[in-house]
Every structure is written in structure tokens, then in C-alpha cells.
A and B are shown apart, each in its own frame.
Chain A
Amino acid sequence: MNYPVWQLDVFGGGFFVILIAVFHVYIAHFAVGGGLLLVLAERKGLRENNPAILDHVRRLARFFLLVTMVLGSTTGVGIWFIIALLNPAATSILIHTFVFAWGAEWVFFLLEIVSLFLYAYTFGRMAAGRHQLLGWIYFGAAWMSLFIINGIIDFMLTPGTWPQDGNFWSAFFNPTFWPSLFFRTFFALIIAGLFGLVTAAWIREEQLRTKMMRFCSLWLLAPLAFFIASAWWYKAALPVEVQEMIFQRMPEMRSIVSGFLFCAPVILFGGLLLVLRLPPALAKTLAVSLLIVGQLYMGLFEFIREGGRRPYIIRDVMYSTSIRVEDEQRLQQQGILRSARWVRHREITEANQMAAGRELYNLLCLSCHAIGGPMRDIRPLTAGFTAEGLDAMISGMDIFYPAMPPFAGTPAERATLAQYIARDLNGRTDASEPLALTEKMVEVPVFDPKTDPFVLLAWSERGMQLVDDPGAPLSLFPEGTTLRAQLIRRDETPAVVTTGVSLYYRVEGGPAAAGQQPLAGIFAPAGDSFVATGIAVSPYPQQGGFDPYPVMAIEARDTNNQVIATTKLVVPVSTELGCRTCHGGDWRMDGRAGLADETANNILAVHDRLSKTDLQQRVNDGPVRCHDCHTGPGSAPGDPARLTLSAAIHGFHANYLRGRGAEGCALCHPSSPNGATRGARDIHTSVGLDCTSCHGTVEDHSLSLLKKEQQAGKARASVLMAHLRPQTVESVEQVVARSPWVNQPDCLNCHEDFQPPETDATFNQWTTDSASLFHNRTDDSGRLFCAACHGSPHALYPAVNPYGSHLDALQPLQYQTNRLPIGANRNCALCHTIEMEDEMHHPNMLRDFRNE
């Protein structure tokens, strides 16, 4: 926020820090342990009165001097340079807080140089005791350097009480200071042994080589137990949340931690081998290999430490993005572009969107994510996301990816950043314009009000329904479509016909798929109605393409198999499931709908990563069926210990969709006004209501589901609820828990006593049971279903279908040549054959339709 950003792109994400630090840290530890190794090796030579050892130590000292001076000191300054270039704000905190610690470290650095020069160049030219004293002074100074740097590095991981008291000493002697100091000290001894082994392996004289190899091997073996113990102590001293971060919440850490644990036995085994008298070539190979293992060991440790610190550069004080934790909320309100000093575009316009997005990327992403480079390259990480998906991802990235900080800008900045990444960096050209739809003509069945004796009414239980893609690796919606129908004999006293007739359904327009018979079947009697369940209607017609509204012809036949009534309806079935918004892949069918294998496989991979499952393995045995574990609608019960499918999916994704309205629903459901289905097509949509009017926002909707699961003792519900805040009511306590598909919004919440509504939103008042759901409910007579006259939910008459305004009103058009509910505008004669005066079906029915 305060400083310009070095726009590195390919080498972004801290590449140069790693490049320099990997070598420096190794050499710096060698510089500490090596000092002790030199002086003790010299003492060994003196004690044994062995000039060959002393000569070797003299040469070792020169080698040590070269390595530590040329590489150690310059890379040390290099780290300082690079962190100031890449994170000047954090560097400034470290420099200002610890200036006198750095100053003291500089004094010890000076002491190291003087003592090491004197030690290395006075071999054999002064009394042994004094010469060794120089070595001891060197080691003391080097260890004090470690002592000081250790305090500062661990401050970044565990700043202790410093954020509260600002005290130098509480910052320096922070909670991990002592375990880390011991850990690094023992590590330094082991590394000294590793370097010592390499120099010893090149000794020509066999006896001396063996002697020195054994001596150096001891440096691996002797400190190892103490090293492991101090590592354990270090781990135990970490705050619980840091431990969780490293060992539980970051799946990518697992291999790093395993690698780190694996290195100890390798070094132990290698050290034991080198105690033996080995052929020179083997000894050299082994010594060099162990040196490389040591470098790896150190690198893995530092990676784990840095990983545990994420998403902070100084834990609880400053994020890796250089944003202070205390500034986060202010920035979320004011915006990054208005607050940062080094930006050109303070306001986002259509013209500067990409340039402003680039500036946001520089400020918020580049410190960890390279563009096309080796360090956490942003391109492959985001390639699967559309701009809208990325926007959603960024809004909740900190919740399920604890290494990521919360987004620190405004929603507009978030959208701009997402557009920049998706369009400019990933070259995506996802359509933002509405898809072109081809109008579909359906012949309305003929009805003669003078002669026809029956009125046949049919409806789909769901007016907006997602169905599985045949052949996809993932099955979410196995239940198929349920149709219901009622046959009414027209009369002054009409009758609901339930016997002596059979009802049939048949999909118009040929078979659903090549080689199949046209989809057809018979309804089963069910009280006053007939029902057909599990109909596998597909949105993919034989002639190809995507048709989310296939037409179903319904016939009623008498016992002589004579057709006595016919009607039609469209059956809403869609595969426009927006998973690809975030999970990659393209649409499966015609660029407009369908769950592609690539998308499904990514979902399985993410599920495996976050929930430690093996779905990617199981998919080899056939499609993974979500409802096997998560109980879904119309399926056999899954694992009762797990969340229901609805609670799991809504609860997880709501964390990425916070703060959104109906557009958030449309990212997954086929309700987008620009999509290929446009499933929200009923009268409520026409008058300006949307999904949230009845179901609540995504947060509200999810919380009501999760709360039920929480009450059932499912711990996962609480995890998913932690970051969700109700939008319609004040607190989670006020959210009324509900079961999916049973407790739904009730029409009568707004339409009290069937009157015009006084509110346009209802949330938190649910149907009490399945029987009171709209599609199961009947009128005051108890004989006629609400949906028989009003149509399917989400397609209530006069619904407007995007593929043709008549499609969702085929029955009103057939029976009353308008698109209104059956019997609207006092059309009682349709069934009763005469005008009626009693509101026998429900109050307020005998009047002109309000929203014609």
C-alpha cells in the first residue's frame, strides 16, 4: 500500500528470495557449526599430535573461509536487499523494531571476519592455545549472530505479545525463540558435519581420510537426537492455529512435512555408513549426496516454517501482501486503489479495467503468485475460473485455503481483479452477453368448451430442475422427473376422475437419445391424481442441441383405450449446472450446458484435497454419486453422519457467494437471465422478484440448512457456518432451521388468506412438512391440487418461457385461450360449465387477474 511494487511477473512470487535464501541459510548454519568443528578438529590434531590432521584442518579453514565469506556474507546481504525490494513494508518493521539487534549482529559479523581471518592465516604461527582461542571467538561470534537472527526470524512466525505491547524484548524473546535456537544450533552442527565429510572424502591418504570421515560422521550422529528433540519442542511451542495450519489445514504441506521427516533417517543411515571404511569413490559420492540431502532438509524446514506463517509475513501483524491486519477493514471499505500510494488508476472505469486490474494484481497477488513463472504461477491456478467464478473464489479464498489472506479491497475491485486475471492473463473470452435462443413452436392442443367432457391438467413437481448428464463422472441428481395430473369431468358439479381411466405420457419430438425408444409411460393412480415418477427426461433431443423444455404429451384413455382427453406441458430439465464457473472445463453440450468430464474431475480433486477423500480413485469404478454419502432428494439415505447434499453444497459454496443476490444463485442454478435455461420464468419474476425473495440470500438459505445439521450434531456444519452472517435476520440464533425439500417457503406467507401480498420477501417461515409443499397442496375442497391450476413452481401462470412465451402456458392456452391460471377471471365455466358465485377453491379467487 505504501511502496511501489517491483513488477516481476515471471520471477514474481518471491522467486529471488528463495533463490538467495536457500543457499544463504545453509551456508549461514555451516558458518556457525563449522566454527566449532574447526576448533575441535584442531584440538583433536593437537591431542593426537597428528600433523596430518592439523594440516587438513588448516586447509579446511581456508575452504571454510572462502565459502562463508564469499558466498555466506554476500548472500546474507542479498537476502536483506531482496526482502526490502519485495516486501519493503515488512522489512521496514523488522529494521525499525530490531535496529539495535541488527546493529549488534553487525558487530558479531565484524568479529567473525577478524577472528576467522586471523585463525585461518595463523595456523602454526602462534601458540596452540591462543590459536584455538581465535577459533573459539569465531564460533562464539557466529553463534551470537545466529542467536540474534533467530530472534528476528521467529518474531515473524510468533510475534508473541509485541502486537499489543510493542516491546522490543517481547518481540525478540518470542514464544518460539528458545526451541528454535536449540533447533538451529543442532542443525548447524549437523550441517558442519556434512560439509566436513565432503572435504574429508577428498583426503588422499587413506588412514587420515578414514579418521576424519569418522570424526565428521560423529557430527551427524551425535546431535541428531538432540536435534529431533528440539524440533519436537519447536513444534510444541507453536500456537495451536499455526500447528493446525501446517499439519492439518494445508494439504500441500503434507508432502513437505513427510519429506522433512524422511530426511532424518537418511542422514542417520548415511552417517552410519560413512563410519565404515569405504572405497574413496563411494565415500565421495555418499558425502556429496548427504550434503545435498542436508540442503534439502534445510529447505524443507524453512518451507514449513514459512508455510506456517502464511498468509502473513509477520503473523497477526502484516499479510504477505504488505497489508497490515489493522488496515484490512478500512481498505475493504475505502478500496485499495484509493488508499495505495503507488497506483495510477484511482477509479475503475470500463476503459481502464484491465490496467486497474493489473495494479490490483501487483498489490495483492504478485508477492506470492508469479505470472508464468515457477513460484505459484497464477495462470494454471486460475485457468479453470471464469471471471465471475474467480470473483467468487477470491471472496472466500481465505476460508478454505488458509494460506490466502482475506481480500482487502472493495467488491468492485475484486471483480476488476478477477476480470484482469481471467481475460488478460488467462485470455478467457467467456460470454457476458445473453445467449441467443432459438424460438420453439408447439402446437397447442385443441379444446372445445362446448363439447369436450374433460379437462386434463398436468404439471411437473419441479418447475426448475437440474438433471444428471448421462456418462458424466459425477451424479448429483439421480431422481428423474415427477409428473402429476388430474382429470376433471366437466359438469355443474365437476368430478375428479380417478377410476376407469388411464393416463399416459410421451415425449414429443422423438426419442431422447439415439437408439432409444421414445420416452413414454403410464401414470399411476395416486388418490385424486395420477403420478409418474423417475421419468428420465433429457434436455438433449435426438436431433442434437440442448432443449431444457422438452414437450410432454399427456393422454387420458378410457377402459376401451379411447382417448378422452389430451394436453401438453413442457418438462423443465436442465444440465446448465454452473460448476464450470469455478471448476474448469467447458460446457458438455453445444457450449451452453452440461457437466463436462474435466469439470467433474476437478470437483472430485478438490473434494479429495479438502475432505481427504479418494473420489478420484473411486471414479474408475463408475460415476461418483454424491448422494451415496450426502442424502439427497428422492434418493436412498446416505451416511447419516454427514451433511445432507443440499446443506453440504450450499453451505460450502455460500462462503464464496457472500454478499450476493440472485446472481449468486445463478452461478450454479439454471436461473441466469443470460443462460440457456432461464428457469425463473413465472409471474413472480415478471413482477421483479428473484430467488432471494422467497429463499433468502445464499447465506440465509445455507444457514437455515446448516443449522438443522448443527442441531443434529454434525460438526462440519459449524465449520461451514463460521463465516456466514445472516442477511435477513440479525443473528444465526434467529434463523429457523429447516430440512431440505421439506421445509420450503410457503406461498401463503406473503399471500395471506390468498390476498394480494403486503410484502415481497419471505424468509424464515417454512412449510411444516412435505404435505404442505406447493406441489403437494390442494385447495379448500381438498380435491384439486394448487399446481393443477397455477402450474409448476417457478413457472406459475402466466409464466414466460424464454424459448416461446406460450410454452409454459400450454394448458391455459388450450382451455381458455389465455395464459392465466386455470379458471382465472371468473372462468369457472371451464369445469363447472356455468358461472359460480362461491369461492370454493380458495378465497379471493372470483376476481380479475391482477398481473395480466
Chain B
Amino acid sequence: MDPALLIPVPDAIPVPWGWFQALLLLTFFCHILLMNMMLGTAWIALASHFSKGGGTVVSEDLGGKLPFIIAFTVNLGVAPLLFAQLLYGQFVYTSSILMAAFWLAVIPLLTCAYALAYLYKYRFERLGRARLVVIGLVTLLLLAIGFIYTNNFTLMQQPQNWARYFDRPDGFLLNLNDPTLWPRYLHFMLSAPAIGGLALALYHRWRASRGAKDAEAQIRRGCRWFTHATLLNVLVGLWFVAVLPKGVLTLSTTTGLWLTVILVGGIVLTIPALVYGFACRPLPATVCTLTVLALMVGARSLLRTAMLAPWFSPADLPVQPAWSPLVIFLVFFVAGLALIAWMLRFTARATSSGEAQS
């Protein structure tokens, strides 16, 4: 069956596609950063249970922040999924249906992870040894959600794999035949402990700057997580690149050229990030890492463009102009961010410690 016949006809978009592309990249960057911190925090909290002394303090401290991060990760996941549906709705709705049972399972898995994170936070003392099980489950559930996402967002860009639906229409398909699936998944999941470690180091650097005495060990711990996970991830990244379909990494197309340039840029920038990491300098390491992350978000988008090129380009989408809702959204967006900044500021000032503890 010709895959092109299976691709649904998209609806018209209200403003030119570039707006949605920009909003998608911006919000996805925020989401993926939060996701990395969320999963990284869970990883490290779990791993702390196996370090000397059971990692009680560290685990409690980190685990206590988890519900917070989950809340923002979920929220910041909504926006890119929304904008992705504008640009690629006909692909992502389809792939979601093909693996519907797994895709819908994200909701109960997430709810359980969220509830367990709160349990870990509020019942840490009472849980005793069960803590390990709880944080282990949280990590496992988040890893499972990541796996489902990787399946969906690889399947959506491979219409040539869609005809399997006719033999399995009950929503239990995955994209396991795709050679990029596992390296892609591992690449995302391994960046989590790296960025989680970096966040840990950065947080304690900030505490140290405010006079905390016990911060150094945590900074070292965070940087260690960052460097080790990143080194491993470089290998996984190379595996990912090696199994990319032929013709994607090419200098003969604009998309391929940009993808190559951005990937090389990202890999090169990883070197100073690692150097700062080994030197326990979280701030410059963070600057490098965020840049790498931004480049990788761009690379991910270009990879999708390249994969979908035989079938579709967002530039093909029909436009039925409606600008006023965009203006209203931007007003709400800016005003909302300003209000958040104001709330954070007056709350920080008003509370005695200067921070709203979780």
C-alpha cells in the first residue's frame, strides 16, 4: 500500500507555519529541559539509596523537589504537543492511534508516578525501606513514558511503517523495527542524569554562594553525574548517528546540510561542557550544555523534516489567516510570564528565608 495514500489531509492553520515552528521549538526546549531535570532527579535520588549511608538526606532533598518538577514538565509538555499538532497533526494523530493502547497508558503511568512522587515527599520517613521501591517505581514509570514517547515520535515520521495497522488495528503497535528507536531513546534518557546532575550541582553552587557549608560535596556529586552520563551519551549519540537512514545526513540538501552543521556544532560544544564538568564548574558547563541542548532540539526538528520530506513539508499547509487570536495569545503569554515573575519576586522577598520551600 502506498504510504502517501494513508496520510490524512491536514486542516488549515490560522497563521503562517513559521510561528508554530518557533513556538514549538521554544516550548519543546523548555519541556525537554524540565523532563531531563525530572528524570535526572529521579535517577539520582534512586541511585543515592545505594550510596554510603543510604543517601537519606540527598534522596529526601531531591525527591522532595520531584513533584514540583513533574508539574512543570507536564505543563511545559502541553504547549509543544499543541504546536506539533498544528504542524504535524495528521502524522502524530495517526501514529498515536496505531499505538493507542500504549499512548493512552501514558496518563495512568504519569498519574501513578506523580502520586508516588508525592508519597515519597510527604511520607519519606514513614516509608522506611519502601522508599527505594517507591522512587524506583517513579523512575521506572518515567522511563516507560519516555519509551512510549520515543516510539510515537519516531513512528509519526515513518509513514512507510504504518500499513502494519491493518494486521494489528487494536492499538498495540510499537516502532521496535526502527533501528534508531533504541539509540534515540537511550540518548534522551541518558541526557537526563547528566542534566539532572548539572541542575543538582548548580543548585548547590547557588546555595554555596549564599553561605551553605555542605554544598561542595553535592556540587561534586552533580558534576560527576553530568560528566559520566554525558561521556556515555556521546557514545550512544554516535550510535544514533550511525543508524540514521541513508540520505538524511547529507550535504546535498539544505535540511541535511543544516542537520550536519548543527550536529557537529553540538558534538563539538560537548567538549567544553565536559571540561567544565570535570573541573566542577557548573555554571559555564550549564551554559555549554544548554546550548548543546538547544542545538539538539534543532537537530531533532531537522531530522523530522528530513524524514517527512518525501511526504510533507509544513510549508504546504493551507493558511486561513486569523491574526487577532495570535495577538491575544501573545498578550496573555507575556502578561502571564510577567505575573509569574512578579509573584516569584514578591514571594521570595516576603518569605523569611527568601525561598519558597517545597
Contact = CB atoms under 8 A, between A and B. Distances in A.
A845 to B, nearest CB: 68
A159 B162 CA distance: 34
Interface residues on B, range: 35 or more
Contact of A81 (B10, B75, B104): B104
B320 A166 contact: yes
A84 B93 contact: yes
Interface residues of A, number: 66
B325 interface: yes
B284 interface: no
A8 B172 CA distance: 11
B111 A71 contact: yes
A102 B89 CA distance: 15
Nearest to A7: B169
B332 A168 contact: no
B293 to A, nearest CB: 21
Given A92-B89, A106-B82, A168-B322, A127 B75 contact: no
B82 A102 contact: yes
Nearest to B93: A88
Contacts of A125: 350-352
Contact of A78 (B97, B107, B358): B107
A820 interface: no
A73 B70 CA distance: 11
B347 A122 contact: yes
A730 B12 CA distance: 42
A126 B355 CA distance: 11
Interface in B69-121: 71-72, 74-79, 81-83, 85-86, 89-90, 93-94, 96-98, 100, 103-104, 106-107, 110-111, 114-115, 118
Contact of B170 (A8, A74, A167): A8
B13 to A, nearest CB: 6
A20 interface: yes
A92 B85 contact: yes
B252 interface: no
A6 B333 contact: no
Contacts, number: 194
Contacts of B16: none
A122 B351 contact: yes
B319 to A, nearest CB: 11
B104 A110 contact: no
Nearest to B92: A84
B346 A6 contact: no
A341 B350 contact: no
| Chain A binding surface, main DSSP class | helix
Contact of B332 (A16, A107, A137, A166): A107
A74 B74 contact: yes
Contacts of A137: 339, 343
Contacts of B298: none
A81 B106 contact: yes
B68 interface: yes
A23 to B, nearest CB: 10
A204 interface: no
Given A95-B86, A122-B351, A169-B324, A7 B170 contact: yes
Contacts of A66: 118
A121 interface: yes
Interface in B198-249: none
A273 interface: no
A81 B114 contact: no
A341 B5 contact: yes
B98 A4 contact: yes
A6 B98 CA distance: 7
Given A6-B171, A7-B171, A137-B343, A113 B332 contact: no
B326 interface: yes
Contact of B347 (A81, A85, A98, A134): A134
Interface string A7-38: 11100000010001000000000000000000
B9 interface: yes
Interface string A66-103: 10011101110110111011001101110111111111
A2 B77 CA distance: 26
Contact of A104 (B166, B329, B350): B329
Interface string B168-199: 01110000000000000000000000000000
Interface string B330-358: 00110011011001101100111000111
Given A111-B340, A113-B71, A114-B343, A75 B115 contact: no
Contact of B340 (A69, A95, A110): A110
B328 interface: yes
A342 B6 contact: yes
Contacts of A85: 96-97, 100, 103-104, 171
Contacts of B23: 103
B14 interface: yes
A504 interface: no
B8 interface: yes
A115 interface: yes
A360 to B, nearest CB: 14
Interface string A839-852: 00000000000000
A100 B325 contact: yes
Interface string A52-77: 00000000000000100111011101
Contact of A96 (B13, B98, B344, B351): B13
Contact of A84 (B5, B96, B171): B96
B74 A107 contact: no
B165 interface: yes
A9 B100 CA distance: 14
B61 interface: no
A341 B356 contact: no
B106 to A, nearest CB: 7
Contacts of A211: none
B157 to A, nearest CB: 16
Interface string A640-674: 00000000000000000000000000000000000
Contacts of A3: 8, 93-94, 97
A319 interface: no
Contacts of B125: none
A132 to B, nearest CB: 12
Given A73-B74, A122-B356, A99 B82 contact: yes
A4 B169 contact: yes
Contacts of B97: 3-6, 85, 88
Given A70-B111, A107-B336, A117-B68, A130 B346 contact: yes
Interface in B314-328: 320, 322, 324-326, 328
> What are the 9 tightest A-B residue pairs by CB atom distance, in nearest-first order?
A126-B350, A100-B325, A100-B329, A88-B93, A78-B107, A7-B169, A2-B8, A107-B336, A96-B11
20 contacts: A2-B8, A3-B93, A5-B169, A73-B71, A74-B74, A77-B77, A77-B78, A78-B107, A80-B81, A88-B96, A92-B10, A99-B20, A99-B82, A107-B332, A111-B340, A113-B72, A117-B358, A121-B358, A130-B347, A168-B14
Interface of B: 5-14, 20, 23, 67-68, 71-72, 74-79, 81-83, 85-86, 89-90, 93-94, 96-98, 100, 103-104, 106-107, 110-111, 114-115, 118, 162, 165-166, 169-171, 320, 322, 324-326, 328-329, 332-333, 336-337, 339-340, 343-344, 346-347, 350-352, 356-358
Given A168-B14, A342-B6, 13 more contacts: A5-B169, A7-B170, A85-B100, A96-B11, A96-B14, A99-B14, A101-B325, A103-B79, A106-B75, A114-B343, A121-B358, A125-B351, A341-B7
